[in-house]
Amino acid sequence: MIKTIAVMNMKGGVGKTTMTANLAGSLAHFHQKKILIVDVDMQANLSQYFMEPEEYASWIKREGDFKKKETVLSIYQKRRIVNPSTVRKKSKKEPPKLILKNLTFRVYENGNAYVDLIPSTLELMDLDTTNAENRLKIFLNTIKDKYDFILIDCPPSMYFFTKSALIAADSYLIPVKPDHLSSFGFVLLEKAIKQLEEDTEKNLIQIGTVFTLFKDTILMNRTMANMKALRGRYFFDNYLKDLTGTGEAAAFNKLIFEYPRAIDNVAALKNITDEFISRINDIENE
Ligand SMILES: Nc1ncnc2c1ncn2[C@@H]1O[C@H](COP(=O)(O)OP(=O)(O)O)[C@@H](O)[C@H]1O
Ligand SMILES: [Mg+2]
């Protein structure tokens, strides 16, 4: 069963976060799915996509309505394992138990369907990563049943947080901008994933590669065709265009189907989402 998907690319600015946000929203909007999105990028762009600046600031400072709220950092921090029989009083130092309700911010609702976000924070910078790689997986395993899909928005690197996402995930989706330099990174990415699969002795399922930030130029069309000629890769037929309104939607904390100036990418987004679902069905029925 495909449930947890890492949205990744070593390159930054290729539309990963915008794709994660809108694919999640679209799965809830058009397919009535319950979605969890997890921001493991310390730049916290996915969090800021959905949260107003004051809201985000209060959340990470645990102020006002957000006193008990936590970020993805809590998931990565060491939890002390206490033997109940030897503990009389709860030590103040003991980190509180992770409660899903305190970790999630509901960013979209459509009847019974919704999108919940686990926000990120720059504080991930100071995380002691010793033995922490598996913690995201361990946590997600405890709450998996509550969602149809979990999308993890990765930072633009193959280091710790992306690795931990790939360890937690059963599959991955690669958003890519069809420009010349991105096409080099694309080949390297494949090598990096193979290496991780070897290191962790697991097989990751590729949901596929989806183009975004597409401009109808001769060069982009050529680059897209060249990339599609790579063997062993699955490419989505549909892609998001590079449109001002699409970038703008984030500034208003809106999904592109909620933002009139982004309307020209909505059909493409819906088609990508349909492809995402049918691709997963195909893989599961193989
Ligand atoms: N389809 C698109 N059309 C126009 N602008 C986009 C589109 N997708 C993303 N952007 C903008 O491009 C920039 C990089 O996108 P982002 O999703 O943050 O990429 P990444 O997560 O890969 O760094 C952001 O400013 C975003 O608003
Ligand atoms: Mg991003």
Query: 51 CA to middle of ligand 1, Å?
Result: 17
- Contact status, residue 18 vs residue 239, Cβ threshold 8 Å: no
Ligand nearest to the CA of 176: 1
22 lines ligand 1 (CB under 6 A): no
Domain ranges, ordered by start, for the chain: 4-285
133/261 Cα distance (integer angstroms): 40
162 lines ligand 1 (CB under 6 A): no
Nearest Cα neighbor of 169 from 214, 206, 224, 120 is: 206
At 6-43, the pLDDT tens digits run: 999 999 999 999 999 999 999 999 999 999 999 999 99
93/103 Cα distance (integer angstroms): 20
Residue 6 identity (one-letter amino acid)? A
48 lines ligand 1 (CB under 6 A): no
How confident is the model at residue 19, as a pLDDT?
A: 98
Q: Whose CA is nearest to atom 24 of ligand 1?
A: 247
Q: Do strands 171-176 and 4-7 pair parallel, antiparallel, or not at all (unpaired)?
A: parallel
Domain 4-285 -> CATH class: alpha beta
129/161 Cα distance (integer angstroms): 9
How confident is the model at residue 90, as a pLDDT?
A: 57
How confident is the model at residue 260, as a pLDDT?
A: 96
Going residue by residue through the chain, which has 286 residues, state the pLDDT in tens, using 9 for 90 and above. Answer: 999 999 999 999 999 999 999 999 999 999 999 999 999 999 999 999 999 999 999 999 999 999 999 999 999 998 765 555 655 565 556 666 899 999 999 999 999 999 999 999 999 999 999 999 999 999 999 999 999 999 999 999 989 999 999 999 999 999 999 998 888 888 888 889 999 999 888 999 999 999 999 999 999 999 999 999 988 889 999 999 999 999 999 999 999 999 999 999 999 999 999 999 999 999 999 8
Query: 202 CA to middle of ligand 1, Å?
Result: 31
Which pTM was predicted? 0.94
Ligand nearest to the CA of 272: 1
217/231 Cα distance (integer angstroms): 24
How confident is the model at residue 96, as a pLDDT?
A: 66
8/193 Cα distance (integer angstroms): 10
Q: Is 175 helix (H, G, I), strand (E, B) or coil?
A: strand
